[in-house]
Structure 1
Amino acid sequence: MSPAEQRVVRFFQGNREQTLIESALSLAEKVGTSDATVIRAVKSLGFSGMEEMRRSLADEMRSNPSPFNRLERTLDDVGDDLISALDTTIDIHQKALERLRRDITPENFEDAVQYIIAAKRVYIFGIGPSSAMANYFSIQLKRFGIEATSVTQTGILLADQLLHLRQGDLMMIFAYGRIYPELATILDQSAKRGVISLLFSDTLGTKLRDQVDLTLSVQRGRTDMLSMHTTTLGLIEALLVGVAKSQPEKAMASLKALNKLRTNLVGKRMDLPVSTNI
């Protein structure tokens, strides 16, 4: 390994968060070398390229810090100035959204939309904070005329929610960090019942790529800081727009039916916005 490559590796070691989110060119500028040298340093470490190294680094970092440690690091970064909490958080979200744009290819996005509109029924699995994302996604899909159900139970209660999985259904999975029993059961039952599976994750894509049909890489902010969900929500809403764009008549008809039901319930018009320009 050349001296320049050694400098790059030392930078990786001391700046893991930047290594995760920045391009080879950006890292090269910080080290004072070329992007080609950065790529050579990555390959000298035994990785095929930047993405493989980032996945490995993210796995390592995600497996180490506890929620306490992540919050402690977040507060350390914020410092004593309260307004810094706003600035720091927005900065993290901006960088994560920029990473999302790079990570989600047009082909993957189109495949995800097609899986949703082609499915007989859509199941959305998420537990803990991800259960709120699953519930929101389910509600919005139903408003667009998609038969959708959130799967948010744990333990033996999960069995009831998986009982009627059938071939032709789609299982969308929000999972991060580790493969826990509920996730393993979801994957197993989806495979056995011929259910298409779509994984949203920051670190499990490599481990589960042979067990799911499609993985969408979604970072939850900085891996050593408090987990944040702006990118997940952003991707969900992009998919919702994609679904509506793909079948606008169905989406608008469903929203009109919802408006009519609301009017019947309250005795006056309670319109959701319905655009002819979806």
Structure 2
Amino acid sequence: IDFVLEGHQRVCEVLSRADNRAAVAQAVALLSDARQVGIFGIGASGILAEYTARLFSRIGLPAYVMNRTGFSLAEQLIGLQRGDVLIMMGQKSPHREGMTTLREAKRLGIPTILLTQAVDSRFSQEAQVVIDVPRGGDSSRMPLHGTVLVCLEMIVLSVASTTPQKTVKSLKRINDLHRAIGKSGGKRGS
């Protein structure tokens, strides 16, 4: 219990630092002007990427996920386009999937926001914005993914606050569509 609680307390402290606040503000400024958002994460981070894409879509900012490996990732990378912003979750290991994603973003002039605890990594050198997100205690323990989720939700809600009318309009439309689905006899709550 303490490991998880302390990990989340620590991430709140680290995200509150002046350098991280500035990085988050920079990320929000980039995202507020984005055509759409590509979110990269592999493994458990891929699940966070899917959830975050849904959150961005809810606030009216189109988003897509890059969470596969091999040929399947190549198919997802084809969706990157000029005017997009890339959010990447990555750690120390400069794996091929991450490096290829960064190279493609660079080729297209897409700014990259990196969420990592490895602020001196190869990924960090390629990103325009680096947000320090601790993943828990020492490296011998299981990494926490909730800490990354805290940062992702903070970013999404901050972007939503920069365009409140767009956010409200999008949420209203989603609710209207949900009511229409409910009236058509479809499954509720899905």
TM-score (norm 2): 0.89
Show the counterpart of 1:43. none
Q: CA-to-partner distance for each residue in 1:22-63, whole Å, 9 max, x for gaps?
A: xxxxxxxxxxxxxxxxxxxxxxxxxxxxxxxxxxxxxxxxxx
Q: How does 1:61-80 map to 2 (within 5 A)?
A: none
1:255 to 159, 168, 171: 171
Specify the alignment match of 2:136 in structure 1.
221
AA partner of residue 115 (structure 1): L
Question: Relative contact order: is structure 1 or structure 2 higher (C-alpha 8 Å, sep ≥ 6)?
Answer: 2
Counterpart residue type for residue 183 of structure 2:
G
Q: Relative to total residues, which structure has the larger helix share, 1 or 2?
A: 1
Q: Indicate how the Cα distance of structure 1 residues 211 and 130 shifts in structure 2: closer, same or farther if over 3 A, else same.
A: same
**How many pairs align?**
183
Show CA shifts across 1:128-149 (max 9, x none). Answer: 1101110111000000000100
Shift of 1:152: 0.7
Distance 1:88 1:191, change over 3 A: closer
- CA deviation profile, 1:49-82 (whole Å, cap 9, x unmatched): xxxxxxxxxxxxxxxxxxxxxxxxxxxxxxxxxx
Asked whether the equivalents of residues 3 and 137 of structure 2 are also in contact (C-alpha less than 8 Å), the reply is: no
1:122 corresponds to: 37
Please state whether the residue corresponding to 1:156 is helix, strand or coil: helix
> Which residue of 244, 253, 256 maps to 2:160?
244
Distance 1:108 1:185 in 2: 24
In structure 1, list runs of 5 or more residues that go unmatched: 1-85, 269-278
* Pair 1:205–1:150, CA change in 2 (3 A): farther
User: Which residue is equivalent to 2:47?
Assistant: 132
Q: CA deviation at 1:102?
A: 2.1
Q: 2:66 aligns with which of 151, 171, 191?
A: 151
* Matched residue, 1:193: 108
Specify the alignment match of 2:56 in structure 1.
141
Separation in 1, partners of 2:172, 2:106: 37
In structure 1, which of residues 165, 168, 178 is the aligned counterpart of residue 83 of structure 2? 168
Instruction: Tell me: CA distance 1:88–1:180, structure 2 relative to 1, closer, same or farther (3 Å).
Output: closer
Unaligned stretches of 5+ residues in structure 2 = 185-190
Give the distance between the partners of 2:49 and 2:4, measured in 1 at CA. Answer: 23
Max Rg structure: 1
Distance 1:264 1:104 in 2: 45
After the TM superposition, which residues 94-113 of structure 1 pair with which residues of structure 2 at under 5 Å, given as runs? 94-102=9-17, 104-113=19-28
Identical-residue share of aligned pairs (%): 28
Task: Give the 3 Å change call, closer, same or farther, for CA 200–103 of structure 1 in structure 2.
Answer: farther
Tell me by how many angstroms 1:99 deviates: 2.3
What SS does structure 1 have at the residue aligned with 2:17?
A: helix
Name the structure 2 match of 1:232. Answer: 148
Distance 2:165 2:54 in 1: 18
CA distance 1:123–1:239, shift in 2 (3 Å): same
Q: Give the distance between the partners of 2:108 and 2:41, measured in 1 at CA.
A: 20
> What is residue 181 of structure 2 aligned with on the other side?
265
- Contact kept in structure 2, 1:198 and 1:214, CA below 8 Å: yes
Output the TM-score relative to the length of structure 1. Answer: 0.62
Deviation of the 1:211 alpha carbon? 1.5
- Partner residue in 2 for 1:65: none
1:208 aligned residue: 123
Pairwise CA RMSD: 1.7
